[in-house]
Amino acid sequence: MFGCCNRDEDKFPNPQEIEFNRTNRNLPFGGGIHFCLGAFLARFQGQVAINNIIQRLPNLQLVNHTPDWRESITLRGLKSLPLTFDKNDFKTY
Ligand code: HEM
């Protein structure tokens, strides 16, 4: 199950923490011959999107600190992530 394979406590010391410097082999894009064909694109899009959001909305805040996870045994993800930001920072391009 992709939803739990990266949270194996025997492999990852802090499995519930986001650690961008993890060096362990992990499986968000699967592995072997069915490794995700879009992994490079997805990683690049994530980098561009997250960098832009952080730079453009410096006062971004979580509305609450209890994540609302989807109940799925296949893919792990949030149902929603309510955020607040300073409306003066928001510009459309
Ligand atoms: C964050 C985004 C993404 C995640 C987490 C993700 C995750 C995965 C995973 C876990 C698999 C393996 C499934 C399996 O072994 O049964 C997979 C396969 C695949 N992904 Fe992605 N993916 C993402 C984005 C994309 C994008 C953007 C594309 C295309 C532009 C894409 C195309 C594919 C294809 C074609 C496969 C099948 C590869 C095969 O079976 O040989 N994925 N993906």
Cα(26) to centroid(ligand 1), Å: 14
pLDDT of residue 93: 66
Query: Is the Cα torsion angle 57, 65, 23, 44 positive or negative in sign?
Result: negative
Cα(84) to centroid(ligand 1), Å: 31
pLDDT of residue 9: 87
Query: Is pLDDT at 11 greater than 90 in this prediction?
Result: no
Q: What's the pTM value of the predicted model, to 2 decimals?
A: 0.82
Q: What is the pLDDT of residues 21-69, one digit of tens each?
A: 877 777 888 889 999 999 999 999 999 999 999 999 999 999 998 988 8
pLDDT of residue 34: 94
Q: How far is CA 72 from CA 16, 38, 58, 79, in A?
A: 17, 22, 32, 11
Cα(59) to centroid(ligand 1), Å: 33
Residue nearest to ligand 1 atom 20, measured at CA: 36
Query: Is pLDDT at 7 greater than 90 in this prediction?
Result: no
